[in-house]
Amino acid sequence: MRFLASAFLFAITVSPLATLAADPTMQITPPAPKISVEERHAELAKRRAAVASKMDDKSVLVLFSAEPKLYTNDVDYVFRQENNLYYLTGLKQEDATLVITKDGAKVTETIFVPKRVPLREAWEGRMYSNEDVTRISGITSIVDAAERDKYLEALKGKRDWASADGKISLMSNPASLYLLLPNTSENGRKDDIGLREYKQENEFNVGFDTAVKNARPIFDALRQIKSPYELKLLQHAIDITTEAQMRSMAIVGRAEWEYQVHAEVEYTFRRRNADFWGYPSIVGCGANATTLHYVESQSPIVKGQLLLMDVGAEYEHYTADVTRTYPVNGKFTKEQAEIYQIVYNAQEAVAKATKPGVTMQQLGVIARNTIAEGLQKIGLVTDYKPATKPEDEFVPRSREVSNWFIHGLGHWLGMNVHDVGAYGPPLKAGMVFTNEPGIYIREDAFAKIPDTAEGNAFKTKVKAAYEKYMNIGVRIEDDLLVTENGVVWMTGKLPRSIADIEAFMAKGPKEIPYSAKNAPTGGMLVAATH
Amino acid sequence: MRFLASAFLFAITVSPLATLAADPTMQITPPAPKISVEERHAELAKRRAAVASKMDDKSVLVLFSAEPKLYTNDVDYVFRQENNLYYLTGLKQEDATLVITKDGAKVTETIFVPKRVPLREAWEGRMYSNEDVTRISGITSIVDAAERDKYLEALKGKRDWASADGKISLMSNPASLYLLLPNTSENGRKDDIGLREYKQENEFNVGFDTAVKNARPIFDALRQIKSPYELKLLQHAIDITTEAQMRSMAIVGRAEWEYQVHAEVEYTFRRRNADFWGYPSIVGCGANATTLHYVESQSPIVKGQLLLMDVGAEYEHYTADVTRTYPVNGKFTKEQAEIYQIVYNAQEAVAKATKPGVTMQQLGVIARNTIAEGLQKIGLVTDYKPATKPEDEFVPRSREVSNWFIHGLGHWLGMNVHDVGAYGPPLKAGMVFTNEPGIYIREDAFAKIPDTAEGNAFKTKVKAAYEKYMNIGVRIEDDLLVTENGVVWMTGKLPRSIADIEAFMAKGPKEIPYSAKNAPTGGMLVAATH
């Protein structure tokens, strides 16, 4: 959907590819990355310093914790911290608030966190002590959360503020105040997604005569380039997901319902100590594979059909996003293989073109052209025009392809599955994106084509092929790290080519034995997570 | 915490018990209950008629769908419908609204539901057609959700309203309007839990000069008595949970971390096609068992210690709630067995006393007295006084017991894990509650006892026993259905006595083979769930 027709860059040199050879044996998740306290403190301090360096002089940044989300009555969903607060502090507990102040060269960092309450701990588990907060975040200036609202009021009233014990005072008359806020369009409309996520900040943002600025551009720019530290966590989430995908391929031949395969995936996530998922798992057999976000898992597993699995473990807030589409019985039919190979070719073309300087839009054009070329050969596209000069690489050369490749090429990946970052600017080393072309021969595809001369002509021409491939849906999705020279396939250990998938599945149905080596916990987890 | 000192009833006759004998073999979940369309329609129509019969004349009831809950950015948690709307319609899709009007003998039932949008279906899956809504709910009067707000405005303005096609008109000037609302205390304060759950209703409830009434008492009274139809669903959730508990007992000897056992539980939930859980799973080894709502699952599994598992699958909105505490190595130590047996005895005493007419408070007193009696024998309580006359059964006879039995006896169970219903009125047949006494020798227990003469005297007297049993936590929780004559243990198939648990675990570590018979889907699930 993010497909743009314009092309600005003409980088067609083939990039060196760092593709890992697929290993046909089961990939058990390696041990979780070991991260020392010192390493974590250094990383978090560096991030906070980077944020502070982008703040105006005489300014204050306030980051709230996420609010707990209601499941039903007095039960909440499992708490997940707001990403940017986590990015700067590592704190996973509710009701923590970070305040950074900047006054010339002087930067202060303060956490408001609730005091431990023994009765509450007997019910809900250990709460952070001040020592815990310091051990996790490296921040030493800590104030009882009960005092937070007084500070927030002082900010509004521009009144001096100090903690009750007089030990900590914080700037309360800044020239500007940074909050995470919904983005505002030119006509003043706030974006719905941001409004939902930053509701409490938006409600707090009333009655200031201080200049209030949206902190998100600062975080978005930083978070889009992943540090080696972040890449270790993301790679672990991807490794867990790789095992989950392979486990599902191993048992699918004996499964009767989609939810049974779904169970194997999420079993692996929990078994390998993922936070859990980064988004609800998509497990669709046959025609269900043609629905992009099919999450019900309520249909039978049918021999002879394809199963599409779009799943991602989340580990320490970083989410994988990996799709494989494979035959239930381990062998692609001719038609399935034809569609699959076209999608595969598009992925390859995208990876080959990926390097700093290229844009996501350009990569999207490459994917669409590659798919259009393949679909023209099998009669599902009639308007594809081959490239005649190098510049054509980034020029869309089929409109009809959008009837079958119904979404964009991919998105940034990180603490959100659709991670922060604009899609216009050129790629830089350290960015991670999903390379996920797809072809969906939806049964209702014809119903969506307008009843015009052009539309009807198209339908007439492709009708036979449409019926031949009907209800086949294929998406292949890999997570790619942009490097100085090209790209690393972070999902490289997971079989992807037709040959590799068939070879892996031919080894026969098998289960991972319970004794399979487990991934021990990393060094980041702490007693209290809420 | 719901322990009351007063006792009103003196029903001490021993009730006939319908306890199922525990079977030491693995309990694979039986097939999901088959419910025909006719049976569902009849049940839902009966519920709607029961609600309408409680509504005032010339009144309107409006039930909104739950709002989707944000996970992060554009990802939501898995959608769960508002219970009362589901109770009357079976609809699981967002944005459905039910309106019931009552005018003398004339009752109308109308659903507002979004029109199907092909492009949205390609992304998010099949949406309900009008035929789907009728097939699921039995309701035939259906209006496009885009017209809903106009009707709601008409209600506020007391203006006539008819659907755009003129086919459906709805009362818009009722004498009273029913909404689900937060409860309001005598001083006008709205309850926090209700305010979170019924936020949109509370915000809508502004600007009416019509009398607005809280619909919750009508639903609470109906839902507290479970129909045979509801009991089938609840029993299935309990059966899935029974299998999950047994599976965890079977593999715990080989597990190294709590999260691995946690994984087995939720694997079983998904494998048996549960909605998922009714509340986050609690899996705590050793001292973690003394934290009531420990959900991190991040500690090692240690041989020689107890593992406490408080877990509940949810099936078609009905949640189980089952706790077992068992030794990692399959054999209770002497101290563990002593504590366990006291909790077991309390459960038995409660079940024996359960029958229509008794109150939950009275059952709570029985549990506390039984536990106090047991703890006095092992030196953790010193103030227990044996009963001297029959009326003493419902009189609390120890205060000190509250240092170790730190919560109430249990709660109503149904579509919420803490289900609707007051705790004062006597039990009736068809009610379901949890019988879940517990003893927790928390390391910080002494720190919470006041530094008074009485407190210090207690500490001195029990110090030796406190140190002996320190960090043992035992809770046993079963789900009991009140019948005309006594009680049915809905969790009766799951080993509970020391002998049964040790016998089951002695059969040695084992896994459920993949080929174990699966529970097929029931008849209620439909393509679209959001």
Could you tell me if B242 lies within 8 Å of chain A, comparing CB atoms? no
- What residue of A is the nearest CA neighbor of B444? A118
Indicate yes or no: CB of B518 within 8 angstroms of CB of A69.
Answer: no
Q: CB contacts < 8 Å between A and B, how many?
A: 180
Interface test with chain A among B65, B74, B319, by most A beta carbons within 10 Å: B74
Residues 6+ apart with CB under 8 A from B205: B179, B181, B212
Q: How many CA atoms lie within 13 A of B218 on its CB side?
A: 23
Q: What part of B 44-63 touches A (C-beta under 8 Å)?
A: none
* Distance (Å, whole) CA A247 – CA A505: 10
Q: Residue B189 CB: number of other CB atoms within 10 A?
A: 11
- Residue B149 to chain A, least CA–CA distance (Å): 19
Give A 510-529 residues with CB within 8 A of chain B. Answer: 511, 514-515, 518, 520-521, 525, 527-529
The per-residue pLDDT of chain B, averaged, comes to: 91
User: Over the stretch B342-396, which tens digit does the pLDDT of each residue have?
Assistant: 999 999 999 999 999 999 999 999 999 999 999 999 999 999 999 999 999 999 9
B122, A527: Cβ pair inside 8 Å?
no
Instruction: Report the alpha-carbon distance of residue A86 to residue A80 in Å, rounded.
Output: 10
B344: three-class secondary structure by DSSP? helix
Q: Enter the tokens of residue B159.
A: 């203006």
How crowded is residue B527: how many other Cβ atoms within 10 Å of its Cβ? 17
* Residue B144, beta-bridge partner list: B113
- Nearest-Cα distance to chain A for B455, in Å, is 17
**Bridge-based pairing state of the strands B282-285 and B306-311:** antiparallel
Q: What is the pLDDT of residues B188-239, one digit of tens each?
A: 899 999 999 999 999 999 999 999 999 999 999 999 999 999 999 999 999 9
Instruction: Give the pLDDT confidence score for residue A9 in this predicted structure.
Output: 28
pLDDT one-digit tens code per residue, B295-350: 888 899 999 999 999 999 999 999 999 999 999 999 999 999 999 999 999 999 99
Mutate to test the interface with B, among A65, A71, A258 (most CBs of B within 10 A): A71
For chain A, the 3-state helix, strand and coil shares in percent, each to the nearest 5, are 35, 15, 45
DSSP code, position B190: B
Whole-number Å distance between alpha carbons of B400 and B461: 12
Q: What is the pLDDT of residue B26?
A: 81
Dig out the tokens for A69 from the structure: 């989300």
Interatomic CA distance for residues B43 and B528, integer angstroms:
21
Q: Which residue has the tokens 């938006």?
A: A202
Residue B521: is its pLDDT beyond 60? no
For chain A, say whether B120 makes contact (Cβ under 8 Å): no
Listed residue (B461, B301, B293) closest to A75, CA to CA: B293
pLDDT for residue B524: 40
For B476, phi then psi, to 5°, come to -125, 130
AA letter at B93 = Q
Closest CB to A514 among B80, B83, B254: B254
Contact B73 A193 (CB under 8 A): yes
The pLDDT profile of chain A, 530 residues, written as one tens digit per residue, is: 222 223 222 223 333 333 334 445 788 888 889 899 999 999 999 999 999 999 999 999 999 999 999 999 999 999 999 999 999 999 999 999 999 999 999 999 999 999 988 878 888 888 899 999 999 999 999 999 999 999 999 999 999 999 999 999 999 999 999 999 999 988 889 999 999 999 999 999 999 999 999 999 999 999 999 999 999 999 999 999 999 999 999 889 888 899 999 999 999 999 999 999 999 999 999 999 998 888 888 899 999 999 999 999 999 999 999 999 999 999 999 999 999 999 999 999 999 999 999 999 999 999 999 999 999 999 999 999 999 999 999 999 999 999 999 999 999 999 999 999 999 999 999 999 999 999 999 999 999 899 999 999 999 999 999 999 999 999 999 999 999 999 999 999 999 999 999 999 998 556 555 555 555 544 344 333 32
> Averaged over B415-426, what is the pLDDT?
96
Closest by CA position to A107, among listed A152, A155, A174, A158: A174
Is B84 in contact with B247 (CB distance < 8 Å)? no
Identity of the residue numbered B214 = N
First to last CA, chain A: 37
Compute the Cα dihedral for B97, B100, B101, B106 and give only its sign: positive
State whether B406 and A122 contact (CB < 8 Å). Answer: yes
pLDDT on residue A516: 52
3-state secondary structure B231-289: HHHHHHHHHHHHHHHHHHHHHHHHCCEHHHHHHHHHHHHHHCCCCEECCCCEEEEHHHH
Q: Which residues of B touch A257 (CB under 8 A)?
A: 273, 518, 520-521
Nearest to A254 among B264, B278, B515 (CB): B515
3-state SS assignment for residue B431: coil
* Confidence at B424, pLDDT banded by 50, 70, 90: very high
Give the dihedral of Cα atoms B74, A436, A333, A257; nearest 10 deg: -20
B518: nearest CB among A260, A291, A521: A260
Which of 260-289 (B) contact A at CB < 8 A? 260, 262-264, 266-267, 270-271, 273, 278-280
What pLDDT digit, counting tens, does each position of B462-507 carry?
999 999 999 999 999 999 999 999 999 999 999 999 999 999 999 8
Best of B67, B254, B258, B271 to disrupt the A interface (most A CBs within 10 Å) is B271
Give the separation between CA A197 and CA A220, rounded to whole angstroms. 15
Rounded Cα–Cα distance for residues B476 and B410 (Å): 11
Mean per-residue pLDDT, B434-443: 97
Specify whether the CB–CB gap between B487 and B18 falls below 8 A: yes
How far apart are the CA of B192 and the nearest CA of chain A, in angstroms? 10
Residues in contact with B118: Cβ distance below 8 Å, sequence separation at least 6, in sequence order: A444, A447, A448
Mean pLDDT of B38-64: 98
Which one of A181-185, B113-117, B258-262, B478-482 scores highest in mean pLDDT?
A: B478-482
State how far the Cα of A35 lies from the Cα of A240, in Å rounded to an integer.
18
Q: Which residue of A280, A518, A527 is in closest CB contact with B78? A: A280
Task: Chain B: give the shortest CA distance to residue A82, in Å.
Answer: 8
